[in-house]
Amino acid sequence: MSLLALENVDFAYRPGQPVLSGVSLSVAPGGHLGIVGESGSGKTTVLRLLLGLAAPQGGRVLSDGRPLDIRSRAALRAHRRLVQPVFQDPYTALDPRMSVRRILTEPLQALSLPGDPAAEVSRVLAAVDLPPDSAGRRPKDFSGGQRQRIAIARALIARPRVLLADEPVSALDLSTRVRIIDLLAGLSRETTLVLVSHDLAVVAALCPHLLVLERGRIVEAGATRQILDAPSHPYTQRLLASLPRLPR
Amino acid sequence: MRRLTFRLGLVLLGLAFAVALTTLVWTPWPVEDMSGGRLAGPSWAHWAGTDRLGRDSLSQVMIGARIALMVGLGATLVGGLIGTVAGVLAGFAQRGLDDALAAALDILIAFPTLLLAMLVVAASETASLGTAILAIGLAMSAIIARLVRVVSKRVLAQDYVTAARCCGAGWLRIVLTHVLPNIAPTLLVALALQFGLAVIAEASLSYLGLGAPPPNASWGQLLQQAQATVYTAPLGVLVPGGALVLLVLAINFVADGLRDLLDDSAEVRE
Amino acid sequence: MTLLQVQGLSVQARGRALVEDVDLTLAPGERLGLVGESGSGKSLTALAVLGLLPPGLTASGRVLLDGRPVIGQPDRALVPLRGAVAAMVFQDPRMALDPLMRLGDQLAVPLRRRAAREGRSMSRQDLRAAQVAALERVAIAEPARILDAWPHQVSGGQRQRVAIAMALACGPRLLIADEPTTALDVSTQAEVMALLDRLVRDEGLALLFISHDLPVVAGIADRVTVMARGRVVEEGPTAQVFHAPAQPYTQGLIAAARRLDAALGPGE
């Protein structure tokens, strides 16, 4: 059974200008999914729907197998515990006026989760390889890569089963990027990853399943390896041909 | 230089508060005492001379400081409170409601404070400290609300707010934990500047007789009374006028210093 | 004769060195990739070459553009060099283009300047023809439509093409491109890179290409200079630096890039 799914979803911010048309996808436990698209593809909207920040006008969102009604507090609460986000820009993802401890415990309070906050903070800091004394400091004391680790720690504290990452490394330097990818790869043993990105290399490094969005429609979906080796849709072919590669 | 003006502002402002508090228990002369002789010049008994009715000018100016600060602070409190609540609400509001609120604010801002004050006085049928505070506060609230609306929208667009929403934070929690702390520096500086403007507005209102009624010797009232004798007894204008300028200057110095201070503590993105 | 010679360039901000002792040379028609992560000083180096450092930053050392000194010169002396000898394309074309000016009007500015410099008078028809020619040069399909458009009405890729057309309008011999494709989509990036490659080749321009993106640099540069923390770490022919990096820092960088590249499979 799927953890998270979209069933034939339509979405428009303005009538007559569809952003998504007939999009279906399904995320099984451990079936890490990469959603790739360029600007205007609708990938950000897919993300908002999967996070329960917006509801589709047609079709439905399934959360742990049940249709998600974002007007129901109980359903949303269950959904929040299922899915947690990681965003692109590590500089706007953390409230500059909060200590790391408060940033990390916010989900515990907001979701009124049981457990010892101090122990949970230590657990997630260790999970993202940050020293325990980070908790007392503020975001400005950390580099971009470290901030992204804090953002990942915040997502982990509610023990979600799905980690929904929106371009999690594209704002980072190359060497930091590889380290965060390693971190996400390590986490993906216990948590299912859904990765939204324009960067095929990052998706290929983390997700065995791939879905290509173009102007609000899914043009190709399947095993990442297979799509990379033999793209069937012209758009995917063009995207792959556009990728800059290193000299061999 | 900035540090110097900030300190000077703090000292002057502190002095004004000290004087205002002192008048609650002591003034050189009782305000109703008319034994000083009409329009007397400075003397040991009356350092700043006396007014047309023979009252001690220094005592009146001191009481004026109390009124200026009371109305200024009161109006800033009223304006800050109403403005922040309205601004945050508008910041959260969806497109239609937000447009309506923004238009309402623009209309309110277009009303001159004096006109608003006359309307408030007309509605309450008497002019008093309360009406002055309410009128100036209302006018200020629109300006504050407009600012708060913009800066809270900026905070609400940050990923950390989306992250908070994604972990189940309700809007009240988001306002209290994210929006208010992050708009606080901007809001504080704006309120400080508005405090200075409120002191001037109070003087204007009482100059026109729309402020606190006698014997509350507001600076505006003193200026109005001394206007007729400005050539023969210029001190009657200079003393309350000077006090008004100094107080507003002090407040502005403090506001500017506050801005620098809060800017330095704000996060610098490399 | 070198077109650009940089010797011992340093850039300081309040006593802190942001760029230290950088040497670069660029011959006419040569393509140099300047590679580095954020904070490496690569963009500041490029700005210093044109004397465009933001206020508060001071450059020292020697920069010769077409044999003429840049550092320590008043802005007045540099104006004839900018555009005519070297022109720059920036990462975000939204910042390089004035949002309140039609694209055609913006393009007219360097075209008129060039005509004035060469002592030609320019009629309205001449200008229109020059504008259209400038846009055709950067492979814009409907020049007439773009000339009348405002910057926000065209796509990011088209904006960057217009920015390139503006940079080329003054007839420079050196094009400095600072992360020109970073803000673009992958397929648009490929188009803009192909355009730059063709322009540089057809017009015999020298190119100083600044980027953090190793595969992109590998695709366009003959030589690569790697910078880290304000200093040059390594430099050499592109193939050598990418296949046999000598310095540990470069080795780490290339290894990271190789890992991501490998995830995509063998490629063609």
For every residue of A111-136, DSSP letters joined together read: TT--S-HHHHHHHHHHHTT--GGGGG
- The secondary structure element, H or E, covering residue C168 is helix C156-169
CA nearest to A171 within chain C:
C38
Considering only CB atoms, which chain C residues are within 8 Å of A241?
190
> pLDDT band for position B97 (50/70/90)?
confident
pTM of the model: 0.85
Q: What is the CATH number of the domain that holds B117?
A: 1.10.3720.10
The pLDDT tens digits of the residues spanning A122-145 come to 999 999 999 999 999 999 999 999
Three-state DSSP state, A189: coil
Contact A106 B164 (CB under 8 A): yes
* Chain C (78-117) residues lying within 8 Å, Cβ to Cβ, of chain A: none
| d(C-alpha A178, C-alpha A173), whole Å | 9
Contact A246 C214 (CB under 8 A): yes
| A172: amino acid identity, one letter | L
Instruction: Nearest by CB to A95, from B170, B178, B269: name it.
Output: B178
Task: Return the pLDDT at B24.
Answer: 85
Q: Is B264 on the interface with A (CB under 8 A)?
A: no
Contact A178 C212 (CB under 8 A): no
Task: Return the pLDDT at B269.
Answer: 34
- The secondary structure element, H or E, covering residue A48 is helix A43-50
- Label residue A69 exposed, middle or buried (CB < 10 Å: 0-12, 13-18, 19+): middle
Residues 6+ apart with CB under 8 A from B15: none
- Could you give the percent of chain B with pLDDT greater than 90? 40
| d(C-alpha C253, C-alpha A174), whole Å | 7
Fold of A4-90+162-242: Rossmann fold (3.40.50)
| A194: amino acid identity, one letter | V
Task: Return the pLDDT at A175.
Answer: 87
Q: How close A102 gets to chain B, by Cα (Å)?
A: 10
pLDDT greater than 70 at residue B238: yes
Considering only CB atoms, which chain B residues are within 8 Å of A88?
159
Cβ atoms within 10 Å, residue C202: 9
User: Which tokens in the block code for residue A141?
Assistant: 């004391």
Beta bridge partners of A14: A17
| d(C-alpha B210, C-alpha B114), whole Å | 9
Cβ atoms within 10 Å, residue A248: 10
Considering only CB atoms, which chain C residues are within 8 Å of A208?
none
What CATH number was assigned to the domain covering residues C4-263?
A: 3.40.50.300
Task: Return the pLDDT at B1.
Answer: 64
Task: Give the structural domain span for B69.
Answer: 2-26+54-148+184-263
pLDDT greater than 50 at residue A86: yes
- The strand ranges marked E within C82-216 are 86-89, 174-178, 206-211
Q: How close C264 gets to chain A, by Cα (Å)?
A: 6
Instruction: Nearest by CB to B168, from A77, A103, A139: name it.
Output: A77
Of the candidates C221, C183, C219, the one whose C-alpha atom is nearest the C-alpha of residue A244 is C219
The pLDDT tens digits of the residues spanning A22-72 come to 999 999 999 999 999 988 899 999 999 999 999 999 999 999 999 999 889
Using CA atoms, how far residue B234 sits from A109, A114, B65, B117, B226, in Å, is: 65, 73, 20, 29, 8
Contact A177 C185 (CB under 8 A): no
Task: Return the pLDDT at A239.
Answer: 92
Quote the DSSP letter at residue C55: T
**Sheet arrangement for strand C4-13:** C16-26, C4-13, C57-65, C68-69
Of the candidates A29, A35, A15, A25, the one whose C-alpha atom is nearest the C-alpha of residue A207 is A35
The stretch A213-241 carries a mean pLDDT of 94
| d(C-alpha C248, C-alpha C228), whole Å | 12
- Could you give the percent of chain B with pLDDT greater than 70? 96
- Label residue C125 exposed, middle or buried (CB < 10 Å: 0-12, 13-18, 19+): exposed
Q: Is C237 on the interface with A (CB under 8 A)?
A: no
Q: Could you tell me which chains touch chain A, where touching means 3 or more CB pairs under 8 A? A: B, C
Three-state DSSP state, C8: strand
- Could you give the percent of chain C with pLDDT greater than 90? 63
Contact C260 A177 (CB under 8 A): yes
Are residues A2 and A66 in contact, defined by beta-carbon separation less than 8 angstroms? no
Task: Return the pLDDT at B124.
Answer: 81
* Chain A (151-210) residues lying within 8 Å, Cβ to Cβ, of chain C: 173-175, 177-178, 181, 198-202, 204-205
The residue to which tokens 């230590």 are assigned? A122
Of the candidates C35, C19, C73, C17, the one whose C-alpha atom is nearest the C-alpha of residue C178 is C35
Considering only CB atoms, which chain B residues are within 8 Å of A155?
163
The pLDDT tens digits of the residues spanning C6-50 come to 999 999 988 889 999 999 999 999 999 999 998 899 999 999 998
**Sheet arrangement for strand A17-27:** A17-27, A4-14, A58-63, A66-67
Of the candidates A155, A159, A156, A184, the one whose C-alpha atom is nearest the C-alpha of residue A169 is A184
Quote the DSSP letter at residue B50: B
Instruction: Nearest by CB to C265, from A173, A229, A244: name it.
Output: A229
Three-state DSSP state, A177: helix
Contact A87 B167 (CB under 8 A): no
pLDDT greater than 70 at residue B58: yes
Task: Return the pLDDT at B176.
Answer: 92
The pLDDT tens digits of the residues spanning C217-265 come to 999 999 999 999 999 999 999 999 999 999 999 999 999 999 999 998 8
| d(C-alpha A73, C-alpha B171), whole Å | 13
pLDDT greater than 80 at residue A8: yes
Instruction: Provide the number of structural domains found in chain B.
Output: 1
Ordered by start, the domain boundaries in chain A are 4-90+162-242
| d(C-alpha C223, C-alpha A7), whole Å | 51
Ordered by start, the domain boundaries in chain C are 4-263
ipTM of the complex: 0.86
Chain A interface test: which of C43, C189, C191, C260 (most A C-beta within 10 Å) = C260
User: Which tokens in the block code for residue A79?
Assistant: 């959904």
Is it true that the peptide bond before C172 is cis, omega within 30 degrees of 0?
no
Task: Return the pLDDT at B267.
Answer: 40
Chain B interface test: which of A89, A106, A164 (most B C-beta within 10 Å) = A106
pLDDT greater than 50 at residue A146: yes
Using CA atoms, how far residue C170 sits from C63, C167, C174, in Å, is: 21, 7, 11
Task: Return the pLDDT at C267.
Answer: 64
| d(C-alpha A139, C-alpha A91), whole Å | 8
Considering only CB atoms, which chain A residues are within 8 Å of C250?
none
Chain A interface test: which of B155, B160, B179, B188 (most A C-beta within 10 Å) = B160
Task: Return the pLDDT at B73.
Answer: 95
Task: Return the pLDDT at B268.
Answer: 36
Residues 6+ apart with CB under 8 A from C251: C245
Cβ atoms within 10 Å, residue A66: 12
Is it true that the peptide bond before B215 is cis, omega within 30 degrees of 0?
yes
Q: Is residue B39 part of a domain?
A: no
Q: Is A223 on the interface with C (CB under 8 A)?
A: no
Residues 6+ apart with CB under 8 A from A161: A3, A29, A82, A83, A191, A192
The stretch A173-189 carries a mean pLDDT of 93
Residues of A with CB under 8 A from a CB of B: 51-53, 76-77, 80, 83-85, 87-89, 91-98, 103, 106-107, 110-111, 139-140, 151, 154-155, 158
The pLDDT tens digits of the residues spanning C39-65 come to 899 999 999 998 888 888 999 999 999
Instruction: Nearest by CB to A178, from C156, C242, C260: name it.
Output: C260
The stretch B215-237 carries a mean pLDDT of 81
| d(C-alpha C46, C-alpha C39), whole Å | 13
pLDDT greater than 50 at residue A92: yes
